[in-house]
Chains A and B, each alone.
Chain A
Amino acid sequence: MTHNNFWLKKIEISVSEAEKRTGRNAMNMQETYTAYLIETRSVEHTDGQSVLTDSLWRRYSEFELLRNYLLVYYPHIVVPPLPEKRAEFVWHKLSADNMDPDFVERRRIGLENFLLRIASHPILCRDKIFYLFLTQEGNWKETVNETGFQLKADSRLKALNATFRVKNPDKRFTDLKHYSDELQSVISHLLRVRARVADRLYGVYKVHGNYGRVFSEWSAIEKEMGDGLQSAGHHMDVYASSIDDILEDEEHYADQLKEYLFYAEALRAVCRKHELMQYDLEIAAQDLASKKQQCEELATGTVRTFSLKGMTTKLFGQETPEQREARIKVLEEQINEGEQQLKSKNLEGREFVKNAWADIERFKEQKNRDLKEALISYAVMQISMCKKGIQVWTNAKECFSKM
């Protein structure tokens, strides 16, 4: 996968290795973690040869930091998800241990995929922090934190509040939210059933392996049948062991689906941002309207809206015309400011919707392509499994018929 921005030439990114490390964590306790080697190569236009330009080690938490930064600075973008932190949807043979080599391997691939997705995104690939992630090993964490992105992040509480109270969100985002909920629910369900099917399939294959042992023992007492039994038994062993590779391949398919499971959350993040902005806008508009009303009331002398000043006036006596003038002036200033703010908020909101929707359309195309490809690769896997099955059983049948 290539793109060119900070780099003058096309680049290739790969997460090529994973290594177990021990170190001391923030609380000075010893911990074990896995570090991943990221290699960046630039590709010469003319001869297609690639030259290693950068190589550094990163751990999972740094990837998380990168993603959190991107979420804050590009709220209108559907930010690619990270591979899962802990193994989920495991079937019995699959390990749920983070240190398990198969899990580490699948995570390495997932992290590489994450970086490639960012590198191929027309907007995200231009980000400086992303560039530094790939090129600056030391001090990168500090650089990210210096951007102060954590402060810019919207609080969860604020976001939740907005979701419940927003009155007129763009319908497309509401629909998108429903879609992402459905996507998450159906893919989870599918992954769960797939894991159970894998478990059962494993059982069917492995039990046949028991035939191998017994046939071999039985062949010892049979004169005519002996050879046939023995070789048939061997084929049963082959059959039983073939399931390991088959299911490992299927795990990659499951990972492809999982990526879109996690994308659902990324979609929801964009929707939440829209709701937040929309809610902000609505509050600002409401505020402005109420101030205008107050102003009007002060000017005309009618009191319809509740105000603290009005209250205190009632309690402590009427205010002087000078006082009233002063208040009107303040309000007029605030109204002016408010109108400016509302205008810019409106603009911001519309910009956001436009940009977000553009990225969502891009995302939809990508999703359709990727899922189609994944389903086709699933069919290819099934075909390969069937061909292997036919071969083994044909061999076994030959042995049986020679008995």
Chain B
Amino acid sequence: MDMNSFSPMMPTSPLSMINQIKFEDEPDLKDLFITVDEPESHVTTIETFITYRIITKTSRGEFDSSEFEVRRRYQDFLWLKGKLEEAHPTLIIPPLPEKFMVKGMVERFNDDFIETRRKALHKFLNRIADHPTLTFNEDFKIFLTAQAWELSSHKKQGPGLLSRMGQTVRAVASSMRGVKNRPEEFMEMNNFIELFSQKINLIDKISQRIYKEEREYFDEMKEYGPIHILWSASEEDLVDILKDVASCIDRCCKATEKRMSGLAEALLPVVHEYVLYSEMLMGVMRRRDQIQAELDSKVEALTYKKADADLLPEEIGKLEDKVECANNALKADWERWKQNMQNDIKLAFTDMAEENIHYYEQCLATWESFLTSQTNLHLEEASEDKP
């Protein structure tokens, strides 16, 4: 199958974007493969930081080569995200893992934290690669391919800090002006996002709590088996059965450890990513509202004949286009995002259910074989008693 069967040009109609959802998850048509691995610590006089190795394999024509290897630090990811948000204010950009651990870590760079972050960064880049629009973003390409010094010099070219600050101020100002003219569908979207955000945050907390409880259960179970061994030391006639019980408990203990790690792998990162997504979505709504607010303020100015009434209609025309573009982009991406979200959540919870089923099946097998061996023993003893 032709790898480049869809056009590398930026699709402008929402319809073509929606069509691309179908192609997305088929690995055959993927032409950009990214991995994030090998975290390395770097120590300079001013700071210590971690870089991650990023390997890109591609068959796309616009890339100079088919394989790239670069090292990036968290700051670089932040920069990329910023650029993507700037270029596509109403697209749903994948979230980055948090800058710091929420629960106040003692050591900034412990292994678990780095590993969790690495996985999240891997996901981040792959989500961008899978996005029909973002995957062709120029800054994304530079991020994946440029050498360190190239990236630094490219970064300096962007709009300065002051202009970015100016944007933020304008954004805050216009968001404060209110969203009175927000179209119905975006009202609905906003309601969904608010509720979704609440629920996913709760689910995140519940899932973390379950992990914690399972860990504490595991810790106590570790002590439980050995006591039966201790007991067997003073009971001549019960040595075997006590040792068997101890080994059953130990096996169930291992099974519970496996269940815990399954939860940590399958469920927790997904739920947490969607917590971050929900924050991201609120940002997208704000930006969309801001774009609309710009238009609304100009229309207002025209209505009340403020300032340069001649130039306004032209400006308004441009802004109307801008609003329409932004809205369409968001609508299409919204559908795509919802679809992905449903799949991801469904998969994550199905995996969690599977882990639990497997855990109980293992424990069941353990105890059933214990029971069988006891019954067999009993039958043996009974037949021995017979003359």
Of the candidates A200, A210, A390, A401, the one whose C-beta lies within 8 Å of that of B350 is A401
Chain A residues near B235 (CB-CB < 8 A): 368, 371
> Given A193-B224, A380-B371, does the pair A225, B346 have CB atoms closer than 8 Å?
yes
**B248, A379: Cβ atoms closer than 8 Å:** yes
Q: B206 an interface residue at 8 Å Cβ cutoff?
A: yes
Chain A 182-215 near chain B by CB (<8 Å), digits 1 or 0? 1100110110011011011101100110110010
Tell me if B367 is interfacial: C-beta within 8 Å of chain A.
yes
Quick one: which of A218, A224, A375 contacts B242, CB cutoff 8 A?
A375
Say yes or no for B364: interface residue by CB 8 A criterion: yes
- Cα A194 to Cα B217 in complex, Å, equals 11
Choose one: B192, B210, B346; the contact of A204 (CB below 8 Å). B210
Contacts of A189 in B (CB 8 A): 227, 230
Would you call A186 and B227 a contact (CB within 8 A)? yes
Given A376-B374, A386-B363, check contact A207 B209 (CB 8 Å).
yes
- A359-403 interface code vs B (CB 8 A; 1 in, 0 out): 000001000100110011011101100110110011011001101
A35 CA / B55 CA spacing, docked (Å): 78
Please determine whether B245 and A378 come into contact, CB atoms closer than 8 angstroms. yes
Whether a CB of chain B sits under 8 angstroms from the CB of A221 is yes
- Closest Cβ neighbor of B248 among chain A residues: A379
- A190, A224, A379, A393: the one contacting B353 at CB < 8 Å is A393
Residues of chain B lying within 8 A (CB to CB) of residue A378: 245
**A203-B217, A372-B241 given as contacts; is B371 within 8 A of A383 (CB)?**
yes
Question: Is A210 in contact with B367, judged by CB distance below 8 angstroms?
Answer: no
- Contact, CB under 8 Å: A214 / B203: yes
The stretch among B82-90, B143-151, B354-362 that forms the contact with chain A is B354-362
Bound complex: CA of A219 vs CA of B252, how far in Å?
A: 34
B223 interface contact, C-beta 8 A: yes
Query: Does B216 lie within 8 Å of A389, measured CB to CB?
Result: no
> Which A residue sits closest to B199, measured CB to CB?
A218
Interface residue A295 (Cβ < 8 Å from any Cβ of B): no
Contact A394 B357 (CB under 8 A): yes
B10 at interface by CB-CB < 8 Å: no
Q: Does B228 contact A (CB under 8 A)?
A: yes
B350 in contact with A397 (CB, 8 Å): yes
A390, closest chain B residue (CB): B360
A403 lies within 8 A of B345 (CB) = yes
B-side contacts of A379, CB under 8 Å: 245, 248, 367, 370-371, 374
- Enumerate chain B residues within 8 angstroms of A88, measured Cβ to Cβ: none
Give A114-158 as 1s and 0s: 1 = Cβ < 8 Å from B's Cβ atoms: 000000000000000000000000000000000000000000000
Encoded as 1 (CB less than 8 Å from any A CB) or 0, chain B from 230 to 253 comes to: 110011011001100100100010
Known: A375-B242, A386-B360, A390-B360. A200 touches B216 (CB 8 A): yes
User: In angstroms, how far is the closest chain B Cβ from the Cβ of A94?
Assistant: 16
Interface flags, B194-238, vs A, CB<8A=1, else 0? 011001001100100110011011011101100110110011011
- Whole-angstrom distance from the CB of B262 to the nearest CB of chain A? 12
Of B224, B231, B354, B374, chain A has the most CB atoms within 10 Å of the CB of: B231
| CB contact list, B64-116 vs A, under 8 A | none
Beta-carbon nearest neighbor of B352 in chain A: A400
**Contact flags A210-241 to B (C-beta < 8 A → 1, else 0):** 11001001101110110010001000000000
Asked whether B342 is an interface residue with its Cβ less than 8 Å from the other chain, the reply is yes
Asked if A73 CB lies within 8 Å of chain B CBs, one says: no
Q: Which of B333-387 contact A (CB under 8 A)?
A: 342, 345-346, 349-350, 353-354, 356-357, 359-361, 363-364, 367-368, 370-371, 374
Given contact pairs A186-B231, A375-B242, A378-B245, A389 touches B356 in the complex (Cβ within 8 A): yes
Which residue on B lies nearest to A382, using beta carbons?
A: B367
Residues A221 and B192 in contact, CB atoms below 8 Å apart: yes
A179 part of interface (Cβ distance < 8 Å): yes
Residue contact B349 to A400, C-beta cutoff 8 Å? yes
For A232, the closest partner residue in chain B by CB is B349
- Given A193-B224, A203-B213, A390 and B234 contact (CB-CB distance below 8 Å): no
Q: For A218, give the chain B residue with the smallest CB separation.
A: B199
A168 to B206, CA, bound (A): 64
A193 and B220 in contact, given A372-B241, A379-B245, A390-B364 (Cβ under 8 angstroms): yes
Chain A interface helix/strand/loop/mixed: helix
Tell me the minimal C-beta distance from B248 to chain A in angstroms.
Answer: 7
> From residue A222, how far is it (CB to closest CB) to chain B in Å?
8
- If the complex has contacts A201-B217, A204-B214, A225-B345, are A372 and B360 also in contact, measured as CB distance less than 8 A? no
**For B195, what are the chain A residues with a Cβ–Cβ distance below 8 Å?**
217-218, 220-221
Q: How far is the CA of A94 from the CA of B230 in the complex (A)?
A: 27
Q: In the bound complex, do residue B342 and residue A207 qualify as a contact, i.e. CB atoms below 8 Å apart?
A: no
Measured CB to CB, the closest approach of chain B to A61, in angstroms, equals 33
Interchain CA distance A277-B364 in the complex, whole Å: 53
Residues of B within 8 A of A390 (CB): 357, 360-361, 364
Bound Cα distance A186, B226 (Å):
11
Closest A residue by C-beta to B357: A393
Alpha-carbon gap, A289 to B242, bound state (A): 51
The answer for the CA separation of A386 and B256 in the assembled complex, in Å, is: 12
**Given the complex of chains A and B, what is the CA–CA distance between A324 and B346 in angstroms?**
108
Is B227 a contact of A190 with CB atoms below 8 Å? yes
CA distance A400 to B349 in the complex (A): 6
Tell me which residues across on chain A come within 8 A of B252, comparing CB atoms. 382
B353, A396: Cβ atoms closer than 8 Å: yes
A190 to B199 CA separation, bound complex (whole angstroms): 41
Instruction: Determine if B217 and A200 form an interchain contact, defined as CB atoms under 8 angstroms apart.
Output: yes
- Once the chains bind, are A207 and B206 in contact (CB under 8 Å)? yes
A197-B364 in contact (CB<8A): no
- Given A210-B206, A225-B345, the answer on whether A386 and B238 have CB atoms closer than 8 Å is no
List of A residues within 8 angstroms of B206 by Cβ: 207, 210-211, 214
> Inside 8 A of A382's CB, which chain B residues have their CB?
248, 252, 363, 367
Closest A-chain residue to B369, C-beta based? A379
Chain B contacts for A217, CB-based, 8 A? 195, 199
In the bound assembly, the distance between CA atoms of A222 and B370 in angstroms comes to 46
A218 to B196, CA, bound (A): 7
B241 touches A397 (CB 8 A): no
Specify the chain B residue showing the minimal Cβ separation from A383. Answer: B367
CB pair B228–A190 under 8 Å, yes or no, is: yes
Chain B residues whose C-beta falls within 8 Å of the C-beta of A179 in the assembled complex? 234
Q: B residues engaging A (CB < 8 A)?
A: 191-192, 195-196, 199, 202-203, 206, 209-210, 213-214, 216-217, 219-221, 223-224, 227-228, 230-231, 234-235, 237-238, 241-242, 245, 248, 252, 342, 345-346, 349-350, 353-354, 356-357, 359-361, 363-364, 367-368, 370-371, 374
- Given A371-B238, A382-B248, A400-B346, 8 more A-B residue pairs with CB atoms under 8 Å apart are A186-B234, A207-B206, A218-B195, A220-B195, A224-B342, A375-B245, A389-B357, A394-B357
A-B contact pairs, 13 of them (CB 8 A): A186-B227, A186-B230, A190-B227, A200-B220, A203-B216, A207-B206, A225-B342, A383-B371, A386-B361, A393-B356, A396-B353, A400-B349, A403-B345
Considering the complex of A and B, which 3 residue pairs feature the smallest CB-CB distances, nearest first? Answer: A397-B353, A389-B360, A200-B217
